[in-house]
């Protein structure tokens, strides 16, 4: 039982040293995690499981980490499961002797095929007991299934699924089916897995012999000391993961050399995407000048396209990654074939940060983002490309074998301009001015909007001007034209549920319940209902999409009020960008509850739909803290606070 107090990684494990970790041990761990919502307890349970793996069967740590994350490989390899429900139902039916119709019915009732699988399996009598599944064998088979393509793939997949499913006991069936469907549904975020791994390695460092009496490193330490050791290990692990988001590299280093030595072995490497630096919103030029008072900064146009992290390794291999480390290389063959025109002879390897924007060849102007989103997303054939793009280069993170992220922007930009060239309509350095004069910034902002940009990115140049991987930093501010009279920024929300439409929207969803994400508690908190900003086609498109993601009951990690229950609940699968007039405290919505007010959440007034954010995962939605900051940053709230202070 990994949830036990004073867990002992040898005595309390259900397998012996050097045996393969039974899949059952992982399934029980996941089921314990599913039962509770307290983040610290979740981390403790997972870390206890990892400790046993480290001590007893270290070679199973990597598949364990992947299976907890429901991943098979780094995101950029694009190896995903997500087997259609129909195929899974067929496999469950064939293995348990039940009919597909019965299984479909149960799935409708329980809202989760994983549970149906578990129950179907429990009531089945077996003539003989198949060999128990192991974590390693499940991981290998899932990988094989994900790689299967072509004509006969479905039959082969069903065969493989059956061969595993037949051996499932208890909760194993639930998690196996959920893994195959591509969703674990236990609300376990990657940050918690990293924290649990760091905690496990602090408690039970890998690579050591453990006589039973010194099993718990923590036993010999004060609680504070242990906590601070876990925090420093977690910082090392999380920082490494940002630079090198690849467990295939990280886990073996932890096992062989210890977590502390990660920075010596895993660094920024061309070919491996890193998590990008992000900006904080601001509401006006004055706010920018206040923030950067006395600090040198630059203003760049904020282009409205798709972020492109362009990598070239020493062997000449080129890859392009999205904001979310997805591999976009096959989306942009046109960029790759003309890359040599912008790199000078001095360049051997690099990582370039840029925005790829749709470009009108006739007028030589930027086209809106909507045009770019019509491009084929994978395996584009260069000859068939209709939407031309121009790459606006704004940063250089690595050059000729050397990482540049610790250098100030002024130096990175100078190197960018020294080693790369502009090519009209194809490769252009982000348009910029270095000024601290209010009127000039204001004028540059107006110009950027006339040039079809969203506004400006304002960045520190010399002091506090390193490239902060994976961080929404105060050293990059975004200044959008339409912030001025609004609340500061558009908001990225997760769609939680739908309300059935009436009148001309009968048969479609006419409204939706939206949520922000709270990474602290790993939950989605209701933020507002939305029904405007949609075209007729939008309603059609959203209805078709969400029909496939309806769930019978809300997830345990959805927070909402009974008065706002939608007609249909959806799985958290899509992010929308929306705008609103302002934010107000709400007795019914739950966003940022406990941050600004102990009992009330925050809600948006007059929300309008802008677009789907294909490039964001649901956990990248605007966070509860950001919603609270936006609320507090509104003029009327600031004035109220100032008034109260005056009165005091």
Instruction: Compute the least distance from the CB of residue 376 to ligand ATP, in Å.
Output: 20
In 3D space, the residue among 190, 211, 210, 194 whose CA is nearest the CA of residue 259 turns out to be: 194
Which segments within 136-283 are labelled E, that is strand? Answer: 278-282
- Per-residue DSSP letter, 325: S
Closer residue to ligand ATP, CB minimum distance, 120 or 490: 490
**Helices assigned H by DSSP within 57-84:** 61-69
Question: Are the beta carbons of 460 and 296 closer than 8 angstroms?
Answer: yes
Instruction: Compute the least distance from the CB of residue 626 to ligand ATP, in Å.
Output: 10
Instruction: Compute the least distance from the CB of residue 430 to ligand ATP, in Å.
Output: 4
Closer residue to ligand ATP, CB minimum distance, 355 or 523: 355
Task: Answer yes or no: 638 catalytic.
Answer: no
In 3D space, the residue among 424, 420, 303, 287 whose CA is nearest the CA of residue 368 turns out to be: 303
Catalytic residue among 302, 331, 478, 480: 302
Closer residue to ligand ATP, CB minimum distance, 375 or 600: 375
Give the separation between CA 625 and CA 623, rounded to whole angstroms: 5
Torsion from C-alpha of 400, 401, 405, 408, nearest 10 degrees: -50
Give the separation between CA 280 and CA 284, rounded to whole angstroms: 12
470 class by beta-carbon count within 10 Å (0-12 exposed, 13-18 middle, 19+ buried): middle
Please count the other Cβ atoms lying within 10 Å of the Cβ belonging to residue 216: 17
Give the separation between CA 299 and CA 479, rounded to whole angstroms: 10
Query: How much is the CA Rg of the chain, to the nearest whole Å?
Result: 26
In 3D space, the residue among 205, 271, 270 whose CA is nearest the CA of residue 236 turns out to be: 205
**Residue 127 DSSP SS3:** coil
Closer residue to ligand ATP, CB minimum distance, 142 or 453: 453
Give the separation between CA 331 and CA 336, rounded to whole angstroms: 10
Instruction: Compute the least distance from the CB of residue 356 to ligand ATP, in Å.
Output: 9
Structure tokens given for 420: 């790369």
Instruction: Compute the least distance from the CB of residue 266 to ligand ATP, in Å.
Output: 24
Q: Are strands 455-460 and 297-302 parallel, antiparallel or unpaired?
A: antiparallel
Closer residue to ligand ATP, CB minimum distance, 47 or 475: 475
Give the separation between CA 588 and CA 515, rounded to whole angstroms: 13
Closer residue to ligand ATP, CB minimum distance, 7 or 303: 303
- Per-residue DSSP letter, 431: P
Instruction: Compute the least distance from the CB of residue 235 to ligand ATP, in Å.
Output: 22
Closer residue to ligand ATP, CB minimum distance, 62 or 308: 308
Torsion from C-alpha of 621, 624, 626, 630, nearest 10 degrees: 120
Give the separation between CA 66 and CA 135, rounded to whole angstroms: 10
Instruction: Compute the least distance from the CB of residue 390 to ligand ATP, in Å.
Output: 12
Instruction: Compute the least distance from the CB of residue 338 to ligand ATP, in Å.
Output: 20
Residues in the site for ligand ATP, rule: CB under 6 A? 276, 278-279, 300, 302-303, 307, 323, 355, 394, 430, 457, 478, 490
For residue 435, how far is the Cα from the chain centroid?
35
Give the separation between CA 492 and CA 516, rounded to whole angstroms: 7
Closer residue to ligand ATP, CB minimum distance, 154 or 278: 278
Instruction: Tell me the catalytic residues.
Output: 302
């Amino acid at each position: 039982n990994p949830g036990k107090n004073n867990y002992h990684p040898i005595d309390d494990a259900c397998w012996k040293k050097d045996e393969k970790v039974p899949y059952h041990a992982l399934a029980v761990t996941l089921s314990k995690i599913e039962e509770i919502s307290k983040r610290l307890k979740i981390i403790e349970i997972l870390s206890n499981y990892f400790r046993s793996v480290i001590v007893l069967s270290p070679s199973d740590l990597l598949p364990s980490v992947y299976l907890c994350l429901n991943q098979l490989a780094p995101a950029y390899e694009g190896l995903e499961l997500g087997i259609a429900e129909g195929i899974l139902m067929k496999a469950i039916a064939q293995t348990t002797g039940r009919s597909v119709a019965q299984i479909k019915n149960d799935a409708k009732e329980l809202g989760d095929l994983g549970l149906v699988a578990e129950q179907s399996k429990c009531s089945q009598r077996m003539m003989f007991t198949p060999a128990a599944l192991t974590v390693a064998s499940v991981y290998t088979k899932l990988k094989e299934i994900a790689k299967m393509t072509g004509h006969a793939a479905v039959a082969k997949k069903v065969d493989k699924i059956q061969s595993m499913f037949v051996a499932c006991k208890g909760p194993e069936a639930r998690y196996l089916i959920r893994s195959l469907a591509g969703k674990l549904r236990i609300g376990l975020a990657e940050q918690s897995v990293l924290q649990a791994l760091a905690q496990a390695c602090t408690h039970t460092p890998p690579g050591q012999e453990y006589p039973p009496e010194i099993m718990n490193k923590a036993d010999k330490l004060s609680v504070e000391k242990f906590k601070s050791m876990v925090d420093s290990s977690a910082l090392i692990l999380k920082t490494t993961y940002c630079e090198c988001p690849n467990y295939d590299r990280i886990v073996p280093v932890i096992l062989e050399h210890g977590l502390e030595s990660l920075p010596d072995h895993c660094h920024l490497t061309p070919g491996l995407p890193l998590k990008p630096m992000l900006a904080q919103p601001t509401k006006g030029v004055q706010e920018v000048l206040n923030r950067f008072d006395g600090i040198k900064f630059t203003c760049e146009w904020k282009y409205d396209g798709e972020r492109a992290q362009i990598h070239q390794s020493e062997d000449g291999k080129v890859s392009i990654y999205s904001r979310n480390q997805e591999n976009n290389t096959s989306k942009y063959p046109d960029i790759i074939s003309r890359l040599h025109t912008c790199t000078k002879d001095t360049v051997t390897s690099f990582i370039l940060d840029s925005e790829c924007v749709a470009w009108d060849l006739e007028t030589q102007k930027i086209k809106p983002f909507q045009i770019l989103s019509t491009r084929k997303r994978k395996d584009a054939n260069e000859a068939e490309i209709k939407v031309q793009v121009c790459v606006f280069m704004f940063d250089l993170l690595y050059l000729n074998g050397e990482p540049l992220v610790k250098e100030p922007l002024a130096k990175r930009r100078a190197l960018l301009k020294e080693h790369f060239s502009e090519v009209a309509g194809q490769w252009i350095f982000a348009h910029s001015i270095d000024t601290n004069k209010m009127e000039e910034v204001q004028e540059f902002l107006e110009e950027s909007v006339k040039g079809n940009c969203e506004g400006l990115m304002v960045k520190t140049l010399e002091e506090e001007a390193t490239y902060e991987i994976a961080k929404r930093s105060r050293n990059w501010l975004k200044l959008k034209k339409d912030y001025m009279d609004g609340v500061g920024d558009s908001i990225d929300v997760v769609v939680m549920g739908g309300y059935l439409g009436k009148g001309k929207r009968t048969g479609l969803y006419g409204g939706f319940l939206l949520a922000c994400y709270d990474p602290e508690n790993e939950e989605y908190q209701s933020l507002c209902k939305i029904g405007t900003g949609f075209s007729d086609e939008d309603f059609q498109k959203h209805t078709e999409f969400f029909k496939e993601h309806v769930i019978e009951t809300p997830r345990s990690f959805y927070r909402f009020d009974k008065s706002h229950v939608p007609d249909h609940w959806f799985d958290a699968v899509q992010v929308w960008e929306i705008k609103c007039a302002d934010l107000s405290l709400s007795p019914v919505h739950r966003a940022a509850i406990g941050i600004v007010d102990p009992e009330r959440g925050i809600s948006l007034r007059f929300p309008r739909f802008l677009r789907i954010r294909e490039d964001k995962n649901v956990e990248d939605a605007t966070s509860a803290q950001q919603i609270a900051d936006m609320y507090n940053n509104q003029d009327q709230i600031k004035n109220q606070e100032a008034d109260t202070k005056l009165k005091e």
